[in-house]
Structure 1
Amino acid sequence: MAWQPPQVAPATVDGAVVPLVPAPVPAAPAAPAGPTLNAATVGTFYRAPAPGAPPFVSEGDEVSPGQQVAIIEAMKLMLPVEAERGGRVAEVLVADGEGVEYGQPLFRLASADGAAEGTDESELAA
């Protein structure tokens, strides 16, 4: 006895057979250009030490290795996020209060000349 695949009737629209095509797969988000500061754990990302307080760092701020730049709450523990490298914060990549995954980029840093590393100067002018 052999197994027979189920028979599927072809799709039709107004009596015409319509070919079945798979739905397009959305593209994965592009990784940010240049060095990033990444999440060391899964949890909820917070930019400030308390609600209503100013953020640890903002775009344009210089950070140095070991400086606290954010907090990730994991299982009711507030874990500091410290910069692994120095540089200027070019972009904050995660919204305050958003869930993050291990290794997810949180901040993008710029090079010493002010341009994002790995980014062409002409792209910055656009």
Structure 2
Amino acid sequence: MTADTTRAGGRTGPDDDDAERVLDWVVRHAARLGEAGAVPLRRIRVSTAALAVDVEWAEAAGAPPAPAPAAPSAEAEPPGTWIRSPMVGTFYRSREPGAPPFVEVGDVVEPGQQIGIVEAMKLMNAVQAEQRGRVSEIAARDGSPVQYDEPLLALVPAD
């Protein structure tokens, strides 16, 4: 690791040690996040590129399911489960230019399977499916900028 990083124009940005300290702080305080909810934590996801922490609690027994978040566009989303961008960046459908896409419409994906990449600040962040399903639509174009929580692709139950 380097002591600091020089940016264009000679300005010095945060060093890797700062990023490690922030990550260490988040890990140390994850237990507090778990205790803050009325139900157990299901997942904590930490992203870099200006740091985003995504916390998800399990649903309480007998509680009605939480309403789905509103779509970022005015158009209604087709039915299915959407895999959304975990951060702001550029979405890529394949590992490198000219390579076959990770998934196509009609493919069945399994939990943990990579479906794309979001590049943020020159870091390539894998986007993975969290559940099994058949790809019914790919909303994000290859090489297009995406926002946090923007729909990337839709999954419908696989036969």
TM class by shorter chain equals: 0.5 to 0.7
Question: 1:110 offset after TM fit, Å?
Answer: 1.5
Q: Number of matched residues?
A: 87
Q: Which residue of 1 is the match for residue 121 of structure 2?
A: 75
Question: 1:112 offset after TM fit, Å?
Answer: 2.8
Q: Which residue of 2 is the match for residue 99 of structure 1?
A: 145
Question: 1:30 offset after TM fit, Å?
Answer: 2.1
Percent same amino acid among aligned pairs?
A: 54
Q: Which residue of 2 is the match for residue 45 of structure 1?
A: 91
In the aligned structure 2, how far is the partner of 1:44 from the partner of 1:88? 24
Match of 1:57 among 103, 109, 129: 103
5+ residue gaps, structure 1, are 1-26, 114-126
Question: 1:32 offset after TM fit, Å?
Answer: 3.2
Structure 1 position 34 matched with structure 2 position 76: no
Please report the TM-score for the alignment, with normalisation by the length of structure 1.
0.65
User: What's the C-alpha RMSD, in Å, of the aligned pairs?
Assistant: 1.3
Dislocated runs of 4+, deviation >4 Å? none
Q: Which residue of 2 is the match for residue 119 of structure 1?
A: none
Larger Rg: 1
Match of 2:132 among 44, 67, 86: 86
Question: 1:86 offset after TM fit, Å?
Answer: 1.1
Question: 1:33 offset after TM fit, Å?
Answer: 2.0
Secondary structure of the 1:56 match is: coil
In the aligned structure 1, how far is the partner of 2:130 from the partner of 2:158? 16
Q: Deviations over 1:5-34 (max 9, x none)?
A: xxxxxxxxxxxxxxxxxxxxxx82323321
Name the aligned partner's letter for residue 141 of structure 2. Answer: A
Task: Name the structure where helix makes up a greater proportion of residues.
Answer: 2
Q: Which residue of 2 is the match for residue 4 of structure 1?
A: none
Please report the TM-score for the alignment, with normalisation by the length of structure 2.
0.52
